[in-house]
Amino acid sequence: MHKARVQTLFIAILIFSLTRAAYAESLIDRIEPPFWWTGMAEQTVQLMVYGKSIGKATVTSSNPSIIVQNVHTTDNPNYIFVDLTTELEQGEANTALRFELDDGAQQTVRYTFNARAAGSAERAGFSSKDVVYLLTPDRFANGNPNNDAVAGLTEQPNRSHPGGRHGGDLQGITQNLAYLANLGITQLWLNPIQENNEATYSYHGYAISDLYQVDARLGGNQALLSMTARARELGIGVIMDSIPNHIGAEHWWMRDLPSKDWIHNEGKFTQTSHRHEMIQDPYAPESERREFNDGWFVPSMPDLNQSNPLLANYIVQNTIWWIEYAGLSGLRVDTLPYADKHFTRDYNQRILAEYPNLNIVGEEWSTNPAVVAYWQRGKLNQDGFDAGSPSLMDFPLQEALIQALTEPEADRKGLMRLHVMLANDFQYPDADNLVVLSDNHDMNRVHTWLKQDVALTKMALGFLFTIRGIPQLFYGTEILMDNTGTDDHGVIRSDYPGGWVGDTVNAFTGQGLTQAQLDMQNTVRELLNWRKHSVAIHSGELVHYVPKDGVYVYFRVHKDDVVMVLMNKNEQTKQINTARFKETLGAHTRWQDVLTQATGELATGISVPAKTTMIVELKQ
């Protein structure tokens, strides 16, 4: 062929290709999830594809090992849901997916199935061997001030405003993981980290605007991978906050909903009743159940309709994607009872089918143990429903703990609150797998609840670290952070001292802390590092005795490994006669205080200082 004709033909093809490529760029705006993995228990992944009129496209795959199993459309032609199936068990694989419209417009995109990390499916979840540290990423440490403000994200940094963005990020957390490891922390629960593009209060995290992107002001997705990798090196697992119930009003869906029924109440704000018992109440009318389930928390949090199967599948896949992508050790499920309960059951089942040993803790914020127990896996409920949640937050015991330490001793009050509430454990299929807490990000700090009484705060933590279940410690509790005088959540989630350049107090190094703060920090460190090696605390049977004279005594018993805990709420030392406990003491004759290392003979009794939770190991 003549050289000039070849050049002309080449230029024509190039122009055609560039024109087609430019057109194709506008054909597809998003594909979620952005990639998947081979060797999953569920071999089909459903892609949400978004672009103008993409719902009218035919879809083909270039790889015979990756099959377009099915396509689904909705009443919005700008979405198509593509089921991709692969039977490949390992290794990376990819395919060219071609989307073609009737008018000939087409776009080909590469879709990748990555190789899974070794042992991914068998990963261990958090358990009673662990201590969970809860922190709000924006408020812990600012590792990279350059990402405090990011183009395209509305809210700018304002550290002087309690409810504003303060600049904390994942790099800051990574830089201080060694502090947490030294403190004795083995699991880290982060308040939500995905993009939250609200104009105000965006640091809070629970109004997500992009479910596949870590907020750029926290460092983006790569910062999360760096953090979880460093955490693994230090023996710390990472628990993600999952929010199946709602999104943020600035989520990109809200500009063009995938279907008319994607958001409850036709996409319009209708307040939830917050009546948690509607789910269990055998006499509740269906209209009031819907008012609770389908109502929105606030106008900035559109309520998702999980009865839509495409949406339900999207939520489950998104959660699995984060577990696999970031190497998570567990989930904390926000506002558990507000989502459709049948969805919740399916959500748990599908995630645990992929990760049988993972732990999932649900937030059912009720102080009624019967309401909380309804959701735990294995519960024989009257209606025959089993939600399959392995763990729940133990809000009933949290309330009882605060009451126990602030009320005068009386019949069924004071320390009896703890005894009575723990006696309710018969309602739970697995009380040992409950997450126990003294406070969290949504309530007063424990030091505030206890009127800044250091001794009572130590008592609370001594109980928290030795009772059955998985203890959760709210960041800053170890240095007596409090919110006395206000219930502003921005103050409750104050900045951790030392996390910002120029801080005059640095809790990571101890610089500028008061003696009381240093003492509390050291006490927490000693207890948590002791706890790591106590089989009795991890898996021992709980035996407790009715409180008497302002003293509550309980034991954790695992064969010959026995820990005795004595809570003395009195203003004076109490001498405890151990004869009452002989059936639990067994052949043990001596005790040793885990903090002071003091020892003594059981036969001569134990002297418990005023306002102290004394923890002793028994010796033969």
Out of 198, 303, 334, 439, pick the active-site residue: 334
Do the beta carbons of residue 258 and residue 208 sit within 8 Å? no
Phi then psi dihedrals of residue 618, to 5 deg: -95, 140
Rounded Cα distance between 495 and 162, Å, is 9
Out of 291, 363, 364, 386, pick the active-site residue: 363
Q: Is the dihedral of CA 26, 31, 35, 38 positive or negative?
A: negative
Residue ranges of alpha helices (H) inside 438-480 are 446-449, 454-464
Q: Is the dihedral of CA 45, 49, 53, 58 positive or negative?
A: negative
- Euclidean distance between the first and the last CA atom of the chain, given in angstroms as a whole number: 99
Of 524, 535, 543, 546, give the one whose Cα is nearest residue 613: 524
**Is 250 one of the annotated active-site residues of the chain?**
no
Rounded Cα distance between 202 and 198, Å, is 5
Cross-strand partners of 239: 189, 330
- Torsion angle (degrees, nearest 10) of CA 224, 227, 229, 235: -130
Give me the count of residues in the chain.
Answer: 620
Please state the separation of Cα 187 from the chain's center in Å.
Answer: 10
Contacts (Cβ under 8 Å, ≥6 apart) of 362 = 332, 333, 336, 344, 375, 387, 389, 391, 392, 393
Rounded Cα distance between 503 and 501, Å, is 6
Do the beta carbons of residue 332 and residue 240 sit within 8 Å? yes
Do the beta carbons of residue 469 and residue 433 sit within 8 Å? yes
**Is 122 one of the annotated active-site residues of the chain?**
no
Rounded Cα distance between 359 and 389, Å, is 9
Contacts (Cβ under 8 Å, ≥6 apart) of 119 = none
Do the beta carbons of residue 449 and residue 439 sit within 8 Å? yes
Q: Is the dihedral of CA 180, 183, 184, 187 positive or negative?
A: negative
Do the beta carbons of residue 43 and residue 85 sit within 8 Å? yes
DSSP letter for 308, please.
Answer: S
- Torsion angle (degrees, nearest 10) of CA 451, 456, 461, 464: -100
Do the beta carbons of residue 23 and residue 52 sit within 8 Å? no
DSSP letter for 494, please.
Answer: P
Which residues are tagged catalytic?
334, 363
